Chain A
Amino acid sequence: GQQLNQSPQSMFIQEGEDVSMNCTSSSIFNTWLWYKQDPGEGPVLLIALYKAGELTSNGRLTAQFGITRKDSFLNISASIPSDVGIYFCAGHPGNQFYFGTGTSLTVIP
């Protein structure tokens, strides 16, 4: 199946710093999703995007649906220790979902 390219693979940042990660696809998607997964748990939906150009916020998180419909980014502002985890992008053109390889975030207090 299709794979989304997600970068960076891992990040180590100081508490309080801002974080940015992105996801690209070779195909056009109609929906972009961002999930966070804690160790030993399932992914939890953070933000869903439905329109090209859409910019959506959820607390300190902001995500955008790229104009080309082939990319999306996620920003986290003023990171805190509980932001630690793996962040996945996902997109779907229909019934099936495609997932990125994940960005592992470590926040150093």
Chain B
Amino acid sequence: ETGVTQTPRHLVMGMTNKKSLKCEQHLGHNAMYWYKQSAKKPLELMFVYNFKEQTENNSVPSRFSPECPNSSHLFLHLHTLQPEDSALYLCASRLGLAGDTDTQYFGPGTRLTVL
């Protein structure tokens, strides 16, 4: 497999459930991102990891908990979500070396529906 993969592609969960989203990149990148995409809104950055360390938490509620065990894998653990959390969750990766001439590559996303 190549590029950035995300599983599952679709997830329906109740407000009391606990679930996890997984992202894996096969590009040898060092930076990984979680974004939330809601209808008719710009992409919202949630978390950034560089070399497995979290470098950005964009005021995300604690019911979203990221985990980055290594540079190739990124998880988003979900618990006690609200219906307004329903959205497309996108993972992205970037080479992440000094300078800003490298670009970001996205996975296909997980379509999350909270009932």
Contact = CB atoms under 8 A, between A and B. Distances in A.
A31 B55 CA distance: 20
Contacts of A40: 88, 108-109, 111
Interface stretch (A55-63, A66-74, A86-94): A86-94
Interface size class on chain B is 20 to 34
Per DSSP, chain A at the interface is: loop
B101 A95 contact: no
A82 interface: no
B61 interface: no
B106 A31 contact: no
Which of B48, B103, B106 counts the most chain A CB atoms within 10 A? B103
Interface in B46-70: 48, 50, 55-56, 58
B107 A42 contact: yes
B104 A90 contact: yes
B90 A95 contact: no
Contacts of B4: 42
A48 B50 contact: no
Given A1-B58, A95-B56, A100-B42, A41 B109 contact: yes
B50 A102 contact: no
Contacts of A1: 45, 58
Given A40-B109, A41-B109, A42-B106, A93 B42 contact: no
Contacts of B6: 42
B106 A44 contact: yes
Given A41-B108, A48-B103, 11 more contacts: A33-B103, A42-B90, A44-B106, A50-B101, A95-B31, A95-B56, A96-B48, A97-B33, A97-B45, A99-B43, A101-B42
Interface of B: 4, 6, 31, 33, 41-43, 45, 48, 50, 55-56, 58, 88, 90, 92, 96, 100-101, 103-109, 111
